[in-house]
Structure 1
Amino acid sequence: MITVVGSYNVDMTFRVERFPVVGETVFAQEIRVGHGGKGSNQAVSCARLGASVKFVAAIGNDVNGANALRFFREEKIDVSCVKVKNTFTGVAYILLNDKGEVMIVVNRGANNELFPEDIDDCLKGDVLLTQLEIREDVVKKALSNFHGLRILNPAPAELKDVSILNYVDILTPNEVEFKELSNSDDMIYAADVLLKRVRQAVIVTMGEKGSVIFTRNKSVRIPTIRVDPVDTTGAGDVFNAALAVYLEKGYDLESAVEKANIIASISVTTYGALGPRKEEIEEKFSDISLD
C-alpha cells in the first residue's frame, strides 16, 4: 500500500493567451474547475496506475469538501484518514498560457489545519509519499514515524526545518526547487549538499529533458519521450506517483524513474493535473510497456 500525506485543493484554472506582466490585466479564454492539490493529485494518480492508496489529508466542511470525498471514493482511495475541518477547503488559482506553462497561487484553507495528532494511526504501508503544501510539523511526523520507503516531493521549496531531510529516503525536487534547497546553481555540489542529509537519492525532474538521479556513488540522467505539451500542471505530481508505484512493485530506482518519466510526459498531452489511467496509456501508446 502507498500512503500519501498531503494537500487537497479545488483547482481553478484560467487559460490565457499569455501571462500578464506586473500591473497588466489580461482576459481568460476559458475557466475550468477541478480536483487538485499536490497530495490529492499524487494519491489519485497512484490509484489510477493500479496501486492501493490511503490518503491522509484535511478538507473543509463545505460543498468542495463533500465533492472531494465523493471523488476520492470514486477513485477507490481509502479515505479513513481524510479529516473534515471547520473551515473552507483549499483552493489553487492556476494561470495556464498557450505554451502549456503555468503560474499557481494557493490558498491553503483546511490544508493548514491538518495537525500532527490528526495522522496518528494513519502511517502504515510500504511507501510514504508527501509534499510541502501542508504544515511542516505534519510532514516531519509522517516521515519520522513511517516504517517503509519515504519519498518527499519538496514543493513548494520553502523548507524552514531542514532536519526533515534527515528522514527522507528519496527527495524529488524539480530544477527550481533543487537550487532553492541547496542554494547552489552547481548541480554536483547541490546534490552533495542534499545527500549529506537525504538517505538514498535525490532525483531532479527536468521536464522534457527527463530526470537526473544523484546517489552517493554516481549520477545518471534518465531520458523521457518527446511529446507536444498541452498543460504541464501536475506533471511533477504524476512523476512522483508513478515513481512510488513502481518502487512499491519492486523496480530498481533507475527503472522506476524511467517509467515515471514516460507517464509524466504522457500526462502533459491532456488538460488537468491528474495522471492517466494505466489502460488509457496502453491504449494510446501501444509501443510503450508499463509492466
Structure 2
Amino acid sequence: MADVVVVGSANVDLVLPVQRIPRPGETVLASGLSRGPGGKGANQAVAAARAGASTAFVASLGADESGELLRTALTESGVDLSLVSTTSTPTGTAIITVAADGENSIVVAPSANAELALSAEALSAIRSAKVVLAQLEIPFPTVQAAAEASSYFVLNAAPAAELSDELLAQVDLLVVNETEAEAVGGLLLDRVPAAVITLGAEGAVILTRGAAEVRVPGVPVEVVDTTAAGDTFCGVLAATLAAASTSSANTGSVTVGDLTNAVRRANVAASLSVKTAGAIPSVPHGENIDARAAEVYL
C-alpha cells in the first residue's frame, strides 16, 4: 500500500497569460492559451510522488480526452491510479489567468470531481497510509470520510471555506494560507492540534499545541507562475512527513522537529515550482528539492 494517499480533484487547466488580472467587469487580452494537467489533488499527488513517496491518488475522472491527459501525466510521475474512478461526467476544468508578475486567478468547474466518493478499496488504502492528504475541491462528505479513516490526516483547506467542528476534529495538521485561515474561523489551535500557515514569498509559520511558534523564512526566487506553489508545498510536506515515520504501522505521531523539517523542504519545493509555468510541469523532483535545500539551510 502507498505511504501517502491523496484524496482530491483533477482538472485540465486552460491557462491564459495576461499582463494583469482583470478587475470586475473588465476585459483583458491574453497573449496565448495553453492546456495541461492540473487540479489541486492531482498537483499534490504528483508533488508527493516526485518528492520520493509511494503515492496513490483517489479521484474521479471523466471518460474523455481530458481524463486521459491527466492519467498519462500522473502515471508518468509515478502516481498509483488504481483508486481513480471513471464517470460519464466530463473531467473537471480550471480556467487560470496568470499575470506578468506571476500572480493568478482561477475558476474551477468541478464536473467529475463533484462525484468523488470513497470505495471500499480506497478506504482500505487510506487506513493503511502513513499520511492522507485532502483539499476542498471535492465533496465535503468525501473529505470527512477520508479524515475519519486516516491515522494521520492533513487537510489543505483550499479553496477557502468555513469548516465544521466535525471535520476539524479529525484533522491532525491543517495547511492554509492567510485568507484560508480567516475562513476557517476561530483560533486555529483551539480547533486543530497543529497548523501551517503559508505566507507566499515570506515563507510559513508552524503552530502546534504546547510548543512555541516556528517561522520558516521564504526562499528568494524570480517568480514566473505561482499556480502550483501551494499544491507543491502540500504534496512535498506529506511525502516528507511520511518518510519521517519510524514505524510501518501508523502511529499518527509527528514531532515538532519532523514538522519543521518537512515545512522547510516543502518551502524550498514551492520556491522551485514558481520558476516554471504551468501546474504539474512546474512540480520539482526530490533530488532538485534536496540540492536546493542543502544550499538554503546550510
Structures share fold, TM-score greater than 0.5: yes
1:125 has 2:133 as partner: no
The match for 1:29 is 31
Please give the secondary structure, in 2, of the residue aligned with 1:81: coil
CA deviation digits over 1:10-33, x for unaligned, max 9?
A: 011100011222222111112111
The sequence identity of aligned pairs, in percent, is: 42
| Match among 153, 168, 185 for residue 150 of structure 1 | 153
| Match among 169, 177, 181 for residue 180 of structure 2 | 177
Is the contact made by 1:224 and 1:258 (CA closer than 8 Å) also made in structure 2? Answer: no
Is the contact made by 2:219 and 2:296 (CA closer than 8 Å) also made in structure 1? Answer: no
Counterpart residue identity of residue 116, structure 2: L
| Match among 29, 51, 63 for residue 61 of structure 1 | 63
1:209 has 2:211 as partner: no
Counterpart residue identity of residue 77, structure 1: V
1:216, distance to aligned residue in structure 2 (A): 1.8
Deviates more, 1:159-168 or 1:38-47: 159-168
* C-alpha spacing 1:287/1:146, structure 2 compared with 1 (3 Å): closer
Please give the secondary structure, in 1, of the residue aligned with 2:83: strand
Separation in structure 2 between the aligned mates of residue 8 and residue 253 of structure 1, nearest angstrom: 27
* Structure 2 spans left out of the alignment, 5+ residues: 245-256
Is the contact made by 1:282 and 1:289 (CA closer than 8 Å) also made in structure 2? Answer: no
The match for 1:241 is 235
Question: How many residues of Structure 1 are paired with residues of Structure 2 in the alignment?
Answer: 279
* C-alpha spacing 1:80/1:13, structure 2 compared with 1 (3 Å): same
Please give the secondary structure, in 2, of the residue aligned with 1:91: strand
The match for 1:87 is 89
* Structure 1 spans left out of the alignment, 5+ residues: 183-189
Counterpart residue identity of residue 153, structure 2: R
The match for 1:185 is none
1:247, distance to aligned residue in structure 2 (A): 0.9
| Match among 251, 254, 260 for residue 260 of structure 2 | 254
* C-alpha spacing 1:146/1:115, structure 2 compared with 1 (3 Å): same
Please give the secondary structure, in 1, of the residue aligned with 2:129: coil
Deviates more, 1:249-258 or 1:106-115: 249-258
Counterpart residue identity of residue 155, structure 2: L
Counterpart residue identity of residue 30, structure 2: A
1:288, distance to aligned residue in structure 2 (A): 2.9
Separation in structure 2 between the aligned mates of residue 289 and residue 223 of structure 1, nearest angstrom: 10
Greater relative contact order (Cα 8 A, min sep 6): structure 1 or 2? 2
| Match among 264, 269, 286 for residue 275 of structure 2 | 269
1:73 has 2:75 as partner: yes
Separation in structure 2 between the aligned mates of residue 151 and residue 160 of structure 1, nearest angstrom: 14
Separation in structure 2 between the aligned mates of residue 47 and residue 115 of structure 1, nearest angstrom: 23
Separation in structure 1 between the aligned mates of residue 100 and residue 191 of structure 2, nearest angstrom: 39
The match for 1:288 is 295
1:136 has 2:129 as partner: no
Is the contact made by 1:208 and 1:226 (CA closer than 8 Å) also made in structure 2? Answer: yes
The match for 2:247 is none
Question: Over the residues paired in the alignment, what is the CA RMSD in angstroms?
Answer: 1.9
Deviates more, 1:261-270 or 1:154-163: 154-163
* C-alpha spacing 1:116/1:21, structure 2 compared with 1 (3 Å): same
Is the contact made by 2:133 and 2:153 (CA closer than 8 Å) also made in structure 1? Answer: yes
1:196, distance to aligned residue in structure 2 (A): 2.1
Please give the secondary structure, in 2, of the residue aligned with 1:231: coil
